[in-house]
Amino acid sequence: MLLTILVTGCGENEQARPAIKPPTQQEVKQASPLVPQQKLAQVTENTRQTYQWYCAQCHGMKGKGDGINAKFLTVPPRNHTKAEYLETRTDEQLFEAIKFGGLSVGRAPCMPAWGHTLNEDAIASLVQYIRELCQCEAL
Amino acid sequence: MKNLAIFIFSGFFFLPSTLANAGVLKDKNCGSCHRLNATEKSFTGPDLHYAGSKFQPEWLSAFLKRGEVIRPAGFITDPGFLKGPSENRPPHPSFPEEEAHALTEELMSLKIPRQTSVTSEPLSKGQRAKIKYQFERTFSCISCHQSLNLAGKVRGGISGPSLVNAGNRLQADWVADWLNTPETYTSKGRMPRYKMDPATLIQFARFVMMLKKENIK
């Protein structure tokens, strides 16, 4: 009896709950988009300054992946002027990579998380700036 | 009463020593690059208004006698910072023994309140491996800071100050405070802000304190 309570203690009575089909990924995205303001984000002078202050250390002043840390990293920083890769990434993926770091999107751990440094508007704006640099959009 | 007398006496004893060095920093024009009190707005070199909370006096004295490069790319506000190391960047001035001693004494008097207390006990082998993993992968410190890998080799980026000899240069409490509340020290650095839990914060500071140049292989 005790074992039964311990095993099910944090859950609910599964049999009493009606079967609910889990939402698809698309439905989740439509209901609660990861970045609600992203499409409205504008690239401003502040965005460019933010990129130069933080991102350019690794990604370079012109976003070519040739920042001053680049040659010391085990995985080269992304070249933001190359569309080939960036057009395979969605804006949400770029947003998450900046906010939560490279590992969060299955990429290199060299890219730190900036979510405690930059607010979501600033990150969304950087995503648009990267789109400007690569002159590309998600396919 | 006896304690009060000792306190007053020690105050008199300490006063001339402090006054004797008052102005050495000014004489050497350190304020032309460094911020020496929190009210100053602009500075082009590392902020020194909390030098006494940040540095170890032995290291500071040795540095002042014969400077070493801590920031290969220069200070974060240098106009050429993003262009990387430059041979044109003037080295830090070196001072003779007596002046270095006087400067160290005055710099070590520049303190701000500490918020964290970190034990000087080294991490265990397991803890060290765990924090090293976080240092490189979770928090990506290695991307901007030179450090030592487990084989004792120097590796890492150069935009941040080198941590290769951090264990001899910095104070453990300051490292923890810096990681916890960087805004206490700088209004805008180039380093990401982290929110570590208190236990990780302390272990991180202890890990940094284990980085010493004598461990280079």
pLDDT digits (tens, 9 = 90+) for A70-100: 999 999 999 999 999 999 999 999 999 999 9
The one-letter code for the residue type at B194 is Y
User: Is the Cβ of B159 closer than 8 Å to some Cβ of chain A?
Assistant: yes
Confidence class for position B99, pLDDT limits 50, 70, 90:
very high
Chain B nearest CA to A18, separation (Å): 40
Assess whether pLDDT exceeds 90 at residue B42. Answer: no
Q: Out of A2-16, A125-139, B129-143, B192-206, which region has the weakest mean confidence (pLDDT)? A: A2-16
Contact A110 B82 (CB under 8 A): no
Which residues fall within 8 angstroms of residue B146, CB to CB, at 6 or more apart? A72, B72, B154, B155, B156, B157, B158, B162, B163, B164
What pLDDT score was predicted for residue B88? 81
Contact A117 B192 (CB under 8 A): yes
Instruction: Tell me which of A48, A64, A72, A99 to substitute to probe the interface with B (most B C-beta atoms closer than 10 Å).
Output: A72
d(CA B195, CA B149): 24
For the domain made up of B125-215, give the CATH fold: Cytochrome Bc1 Complex; Chain D, domain 2 (1.10.760)
Confidence class for position A35, pLDDT limits 50, 70, 90:
low
Specify the higher pLDDT residue, B132 or A17: B132
Assess whether pLDDT exceeds 70 at residue B13. Answer: no
Q: Where are the domain boundaries for CATH 1.10.760.10 in chain B?
A: 125-215
What pLDDT score was predicted for residue B86? 83
Provide, as residue numbers in chain A, all residues whose Cβ is less than 8 Å from the Cβ of B155.
72
d(CA B57, CA B36): 17
User: Is the Cβ of B153 closer than 8 Å to some Cβ of chain A?
Assistant: no
* Range of A4-8, B43-47, B155-159 with top mean pLDDT: B155-159
One CATH from 1.10.3470, 1.10.760, 1.10.10, 3.90.920 for B2-66+93-108: 1.10.760
Average pLDDT over every residue of B71-93: 90
Domain architecture of chain A: domains with CATH: 43-139 (1.10.760.10)
User: Is the Cβ of A112 closer than 8 Å to some Cβ of chain B?
Assistant: yes
